[in-house]
Amino acid sequence: MSNFDREKYPAFIRIIDLISAQNPLQRKRIETFVTQQDATYWKYAEQVSRALERSVLVSESARIEAASAYNRMCMDFLREQIHFRKTGVYRLDDAQIAQAQVYDRPDVMRYYMIGLLWSYLLWRNHYAMLRLLQAHLDNISVEHYLEIAPGHGLFASETLRRHPHLNAILIDLSETSIQITRDILAAFQIDPARTRFVHGDFGTTELPSDKFDLIVMGEILEHINQPLEFMRKARQLLSSQGTIFMTTCANCPAIDHVYHFHTVNEIRAAIREAGLTIVREISLPAEDIPEARWQVELVTINYAAILTERNG
């Protein structure tokens, strides 16, 4: 990576150098993105990278593995995109198949979750969604926090760092995700006593009856067969002044995506149907083309929103 301050941001540049060496296409994409970012971004990316280097990425081989994980995830996305562009549908349409092919396979989950973690530093849309979460966390007080499918653990680390008094309940289908989340929280020196992990399916698992002030559900709805029921259950667990931070996407094929939102309006309709109100939202196309062409060209749209219970 040229023209970057290697003295100020050595840990972050180390990982993107490794990614770029393995994958020239990603080198270009990453360089285009990071060169446009400000000091806040670079400091944050370096903070995350250093935290990881102190804990789970101590060795060069571990860093190479992390870079390989990211590139392998990108290859998966490319494979799914090719199928989607040819057929107009996701390869899978049943969450049970995704469970067997992905969530029940520690080898797949490991590289997938590690790759996704880096995507929140390296992809424009994912970083924008992370920034929305950070801004929301800075503007709320939270006593009871639930995260559904923490996956890569980055959202959980943001929430628990910004609210140091807070304890969390985190539920995930995948033991590998739970372990990765534990590792990320440990990297940021978050006391394990602050977290209670539940290994299970949010849709069928009984959780404590307390209401939650904050529910974080990142990249879930496109992974399940019935997102409406899922959101209704989340709403029932929300306190009267509580908020949900959610992310999802339209036209976004992936190895475990089964529910196909075709447009952002379909996402909004599901939110309304679930009895929730959108307080703030962002819709981010993966390509810089006019909105009128998004549907025709099946452009991936990343979507993030802050929701409350709808009154009346």
Partner 1 sequence: MLSNTVILEQVRTVVANVMRVPLVGVTAASSPDTIKQWDSLQHLNLVLALEESFGLQFSPEETVQMLNVETIALLIEEKQMA
- What element of type H or E holds 134? helix 124-137
Q: Which range touches partner 1 (CB under 8 A), out of 27-35, 39-47, 144-152, 226-234?
A: 27-35
Q: How far is the CB of 59 from partner 1 (least distance, A)?
A: 26
CA distance 308 to 175: 30
Of 264, 160, 296, 145, which is closest to residue 211 (Cα–Cα)? 145
Does position 87 interact with partner 1 (CB under 8 A)? The reply is no
Of 96, 129, 114, 268, which is closest to residue 179 (Cα–Cα)? 114
Of 218, 301, 232, 237, which is closest to residue 265 (Cα–Cα)? 301
* Among 20, 23, 181, 302, contact with partner 1 (rule: CB under 8 A): 23
Q: How far is the CB of 29 from partner 1 (least distance, A)?
A: 5
Does position 159 interact with partner 1 (CB under 8 A)? The reply is no
Q: How far is the CB of 74 from partner 1 (least distance, A)?
A: 7
Residues 203-262 that bind partner 1 (CB under 8 A): none
Cα-based distances in Å from 146 to 116, 178, 216, 219: 20, 14, 6, 15
Looking at the chain, how many residues does it have?
312
Does position 187 interact with partner 1 (CB under 8 A)? The reply is no
CA distance 303 to 115: 19
* Among 75, 89, 97, 100, contact with partner 1 (rule: CB under 8 A): 75
* Among 74, 129, 132, 154, contact with partner 1 (rule: CB under 8 A): 74
Q: Which amino acid is at 121?
A: L
Q: What is the DSSP letter of 269?
A: H
Long-range contacts of 31-39 (CB under 8 A, 24+ apart): 31/1, 31/2, 33/122, 33/123, 33/124, 33/127, 34/1, 34/4, 34/122, 35/3, 37/127
Nearer to partner 1, 33 or 41 (CB): 33
Q: Which range touches partner 1 (CB under 8 A), out of 4-12, 77-85, 101-109, 214-222?
A: 77-85
* Among 5, 8, 25, 280, contact with partner 1 (rule: CB under 8 A): 25
Does position 79 interact with partner 1 (CB under 8 A)? The reply is yes
* Among 2, 7, 24, 209, contact with partner 1 (rule: CB under 8 A): 24
Q: How far is the CB of 24 from partner 1 (least distance, A)?
A: 6
CA distance 304 to 243: 13
* Among 5, 32, 280, 291, contact with partner 1 (rule: CB under 8 A): 32
Does position 101 interact with partner 1 (CB under 8 A)? The reply is no
Does position 26 interact with partner 1 (CB under 8 A)? The reply is yes
Nearer to partner 1, 210 or 287 (CB): 287
What is the rounded end-to-end Cα distance, in angstroms, of the chain? 54
* Among 7, 61, 86, 296, contact with partner 1 (rule: CB under 8 A): 86
Contacts of 266 (CB under 8 A, 6+ apart): 250
Does position 165 interact with partner 1 (CB under 8 A)? The reply is no
With contacts defined by CB under 8 A, how many residues of the chain interact with partner 1? 18
What residue ranges bind partner 1 (CB under 8 A)? 23-26, 28-29, 32, 74-76, 78-79, 81-82, 85-86, 286-287
